[in-house]
Copies of this chain bind each other. A is one copy, B any other.
Amino acid sequence: MKPKIGLITLGVTDLKRSLKFYRDGLGFPTHDYKDDAGIVFFKLEGTWLALYPKDKLAEDLNLPLVKGVGGILGGVTLAHNVGTKEEVGAVVEQAVNAGAKLIKQPQDVFWGGYSGYFADPDSHLWEVAWNPFMDLT
């Protein structure tokens, strides 16, 4: 796998509040933002940043939502993007062979991509994704 984190996703409880904080407060530029999209991407130098409702993030991970926690208590995923579905499987396999725990078997996802999740030795969550709409490889 290429040594790169393509995207950091922060689980948030109020998408509009967080959008306001990062876009208007810190001045981060959004990427292709739509009011009803349910997710916000910021095109940053280096790794991009995404905001996503915490309950949806838990759902995507197929993990229980731990209510009331955030920040040092949770809700962050790191993403590594690849160019094909096959590579998703290969990277997840490489991680599992290195001792990672498989969290979600690579599979087609509702937004049109293909992804899987693994957890590192401290349970930090990594998504490995093929995204035909946005090139973060």
Contacts and interface: CB of A to CB of B under 8 A. Distances in A.
Interface of A: 1-6, 8, 10-14, 17-18, 20-22, 24-29, 42-47, 49, 54, 58, 61, 63, 66, 69-78, 94-95, 97-100, 119-125
Given A12-B121, A98-B21, A99-B21, A69 B73 contact: yes
Nearest to A69: B73
Which residue, A12, A20, A69, A94, has most C-beta atoms of chain B within 10 A? A69
Contacts of A6: 46
Given A11-B122, A18-B121, A121-B12, A3 B45 contact: yes
A72 B123 contact: yes
Nearest to A46: B46
Contact of A75 (B5, B70, B124): B124
A18 B122 contact: yes
A21 B72 contact: no
B124 A70 contact: yes
A8 B77 CA distance: 11
